[in-house]
Chains A and B, each alone.
Chain A
């Protein structure tokens, strides 16, 4: 593994102070520089598997406190070119697929608002899986330390290069929105020491969203057309090199090239003054046998008490195993190949649920302090949401988190 090139807490502090004091001077009517960040530490109660924020992270936390998975810093520049045309660029430094905090361009788009009802964007855009925002990285904008790992952990896409269009129609008691988008993914998913390249994979989809004063519901569909082969290519080549036609067929089933991942989700939010609750349900189907299909859900309720917001959540993910028969005879080295194929397939198995309890304290206008406990209760074979698990992994762990979220 690469050695993480992490930003030290001192460097965070310097950058934070620099932009806190320089932003007002840089801000003009048509050009605004803003930022956001999280200083977070978290630890697990096990060292048998590393807990990650999502699968874009090649490694996570175990039984030592670490700032790695949640700490990040983002800067965003908005330039209002004309009343209808705006450009936005956002750079974020976070722990990501290449095991570094190397800053990456998260947004970089032109936005055209010809009227109140329509909006078009072109460039690098957020992949809007999180119902409440394009970005899941702005911790200040939500109650918990991080979006539910069960629900969002398997969605390691933050952005695509493409375009989207949004149509908003007012109704008698709310607004109806329809969004369509398409673009090419540019990120990688780490897999052990290797990388599953999503580069050139086409992500497309959209949603219907209806929001009234108290309720919001959203029905989404996205699909990802995978462009490249998975890191299991050597195993697939080995299957192809055997003289058994059934093994060739399995290699085709396991291939990821030109296979589609379909993602359906339904979200419901009830937001009544201090009370906010949300229920999210999803189903992910893979055309390739390389990954198991899964269903996930997340429920979160929180209540504002002055500057304090306690929250409680429950989430889950469960995948369905896919069975294949390679047809290889039970003798080495072919039986070893058969075992390796089944082991790779089991990597995407998940069967767990999580209880979440915590609080958020808005002690300043632009800062919030959060603490959180996640009790993860799963089967020992639930390994999809983790990194570097070992055979003694029980499927159970507790995650303790502290975070300081800020915007400037």
Chain B
């Protein structure tokens, strides 16, 4: 029995992938960014460092939430269908060739809201119930 449990733990560690069936996130920007909506391709370009300018001309500043691993993993799964390990690998590729920087990693929710409030190009992802008047929803991900 013990060996079966160990096998199952190892199996889930190697193959396991959290299920996100039915879960949703919204992509939000600073309400003063001048942006009404973004396409999935534009959000991909911003978060994967391909082209970081909002349609309004403001430089985009993407923000990741490592303190909320569930939402971070869900966001990249919904956006590009990738695991966080693949995203880490992707950023290693760009960071160690001096090309561009990964999204800013904030340490807690208060820092996130501070940036969303004060940085015109700030862009991140939230649960729909976390949306407040200081931000504008520009894309639904599901």
Question: Chain A interface (Cβ within 8 Å of chain B)?
Answer: 34, 36, 74, 76, 78, 86, 88, 90, 107, 109, 111, 115-117, 121, 126, 128, 132-135, 138, 140-142, 168, 170, 172-175, 211-213, 272-274, 304-309, 361-363, 365-366, 368, 407
Contacts and interface: CB of A to CB of B under 8 A. Distances in A.
A213 B40 contact: yes
A103 to B, nearest CB: 16
B81 A107 contact: no
Contacts of B42: 170
Given A107-B98, A213-B41, A362-B85, A141 B92 contact: yes
A306 B13 CA distance: 8
Given A90-B98, A213-B40, A366-B88, A132 B51 contact: no
Interface stretch (B14-22, B26-34, B106-114, B130-138): B14-22
B51 A168 contact: yes
B45 A365 contact: no
Contacts of A304: 82-83, 85-86
A307 B80 CA distance: 16
Contact of B93 (A138, A170, A272, A273): A138
Given A133-B93, A170-B51, A88 B81 contact: no
Contact of A361 (B14, B41, B84, B92): B14
Question: Which 6 A-B pairs rank lowest in CB-CB distance, beginning with the nearest?
Answer: A273-B81, A134-B97, A362-B85, A116-B53, A141-B93, A88-B98
A117 B53 contact: yes
Nearest to A34: B95
A307 B83 contact: yes
B44 A213 contact: yes
Contacts, number: 117
Contacts of A90: 96, 98
B135 to A, nearest CB: 22
A132 B93 contact: yes
Contact of A36 (B50, B53, B92): B92
B90 interface: yes
Contacts of B51: 116-117, 168, 170, 175
Contacts of A272: 81
Nearest to B16: A306
A89 B37 CA distance: 38
Given A133-B94, A306-B14, A175 B45 contact: yes
